[in-house]
Amino acid sequence: MAGVFQQIEQYGHEQIVFAQDRKVGLKAIIGIHSTVLGPSLGGCRMWKYSDEGEALRDVLRLSRGMTYKAAVAGLKLGGGKAVILGDSRTQKTPELLRSFGRIVEGLSGRYITAEDVGMKVADIDTIRTETRFAVGGSNVGGSGDPSVMTAFGVFQGMKAALKFAGIGEELNGIRVAIQGVGNVGYHLCSYLSAAGARLTVSDVYPNQVDRVIQEFGAVPVQPDQIYAVDCDIFAPCALGAVLNSRTIPQLRCKIVAGSANNQLETEADGYELFKRGVVYAPDYAINAGGLINVAAELDGYEHQRVVKQVTQINKTIASILERSKAEGLPPHLAADRLAEQRLAASASEKKAESSCCAPSHAPPVTGRPRA
């Protein structure tokens, strides 16, 4: 892992923790990108990386993304993420999870962990036996499955995008093409169907598709046909990098608004959508409902308060799209600016408060997120 500090500097992190516990086979990296707005929060991913450099890059990229996501969502939280190097199917043991929990506890709340790829709710419960700083478990006060609130946030963001596009805020009769009807996609179908939208769906698993055909009268298409569906909204709810030079020319939608992370393959793809007049609701702004849901545990989970907060995604998307129009910037960059503005305002407030005493640990935040 040559140039570790160079990489850290490039992403602008406050702290990286490398942890090893040979007795239980734990190798983990925790990335604390920013605590400017509050303690850093982000999931722990367990993945069989091809090498340690790949693991470091992943944690740097993902934790920076969490800083932007929390800032745009208006949360008093910073960005963090953890990776455990290993195969979650064969190397995950209770001892390893508990050891990871002790490392998180040792950070005294600067990093709060949660579920991510390769981890389950039950694993968070195990981690919580060693640390207070884990959310998304099944214990009393736990927030439960985040995908319901993620879908609700996407639904709210869709309304804002429809209004911005001059179609009005009503979903009744609106044609939505949904790619991926797993956890989030399924709940999104439910909200949209109740609002009278007409659904076209694709998934690589026929049983997922059958469920939404039966429950919501959705019309199925083959996975590779979803991009070309003539519709008002295309909702990517499966994979990242689906907006690219191969798919964008196929699109026949007015709006792209879905839950998938990292939808744009490259920066240029964001410009291309903008040039074509497709209204894009930036992924990390519209899919923040799950983060808002899990973060609510920190103040004592109250469902109604979460619903109110997630409803605000409507306003967030509206203001990003207005800013994009006013500044002639693609929406993904307008979202970045909003996040950077909030971070800068909070950093200068903190600086003013503490100018007399403690040194600041927070470097300026630059560069757009990738998660």
210: alpha, beta or left? (left if phi > 0; alpha if psi -120 to 50) = alpha
Which residue number, 17 or 135, has a Cβ lying nearer to ligand NAD? 135
Residue nearest to ligand NAD (CB): 182
Amino acid of residue 83: V
| Interaction between residue 247 and ligand NAD (CB under 6 A) | no
Choosing from 81, 92, 159, 254, the catalytic residue is 81
Is 159 labeled as catalytic in the residue annotation?
no
3-state secondary structure of 341: helix
The reply to whether 202 sits near ligand NAD by the rule CB under 6 A is yes
Q: Does residue 238 bind ligand NAD (CB under 6 A)?
A: yes
- Measured between its terminal Cα atoms, the distance across the chain in Å is 22
Which region holds residue 338: left if phi is over 0, alpha if psi is between -120 and 50, else beta?
alpha
Residue 221 CB, shortest distance to ligand NAD, in Å, is 10
Compare residues 261 and 319 and give the one whose CB is closer to ligand NAD: 261
Cα–Cα dist 199/209, whole Å: 11
Q: How far is the CB of 121 from ligand NAD (least distance, A)?
A: 12
212 belongs to the binding site for ligand NAD (CB under 6 A) = no
String marking each residue 215-234 x if it binds ligand NAD according to CB under 6 A:
--------x-----------
* Residue of 63, 67, 113, 287 interacting with ligand NAD (CB under 6 A): 287
Nearer to ligand NAD, 44 or 96 (CB): 44
Calpha distance 28→76 (Å, rounded): 26
Please give the size of the binding site for ligand NAD, defined by CB under 6 A. 24
> Is there a contact between 209 and 150 (Cβ–Cβ < 8 Å)?
no
Contact by Cβ (8 Å): 159, 153: no
Q: Which stretch binds ligand NAD (CB under 6 A): 5-13, 16-24, 74-82, 202-210?
A: 202-210
Contact flag: residue 185 with ligand NAD (CB under 6 A):
yes
Choose one: 24-32, 58-66, 204-212, 358-366; the region binding ligand NAD (CB under 6 A): 204-212
Helix (H, G, I), strand (E, B) or coil at 45: strand
* Shortest Cβ 179–ligand NAD spacing (Å): 5
Which residues 124-183 are close enough to bind ligand NAD by CB under 6 A? 146-147, 150, 179-183
If the CB atoms of residues 130 and 269 are measured against ligand NAD, the closer one turns out to be: 269
User: Across the beta sheet with 26-34, what order do the strands follow?
Assistant: 15-21, 26-34, 78-85, 40-47, 111-115
Are 110 and 40 within 8 A, CB to CB? Answer: yes
Q: What angle do CA 70, 289, 67 make, to 5 degrees?
A: 15
| Region from 196-204, 267-275, 309-317, 329-337 binding ligand NAD, contact rule CB under 6 A | 196-204
User: How many CA atoms within 13 Å lie on the side-chain side of 192?
Assistant: 36
Q: Which of 260, 279, 285, 317 binds ligand NAD (CB under 6 A)?
A: 260
Angle between helices 206-216 and 183-194 (to 10 degrees): 20
The DSSP string of 139-174 is STT----THHHHHHHHHHHHHHHHHHTTS-S--TT-
Q: Which is nearer to ligand NAD, 131 or 247 (CB)?
A: 247
Which of 113, 143, 193, 208 lies at the binding interface for ligand NAD (CB under 6 A)?
Answer: 208
Cβ-proximal residues to 191 (8 Å cutoff; 6+ apart), any chain: 151, 152, 155
Q: Give contact residues for ligand NAD (rule: CB under 6 A).
A: 146-147, 150, 179-185, 202-205, 208, 223, 237-239, 259-261, 287, 290
Q: Among all residues, which ones are annotated catalytic? A: 81
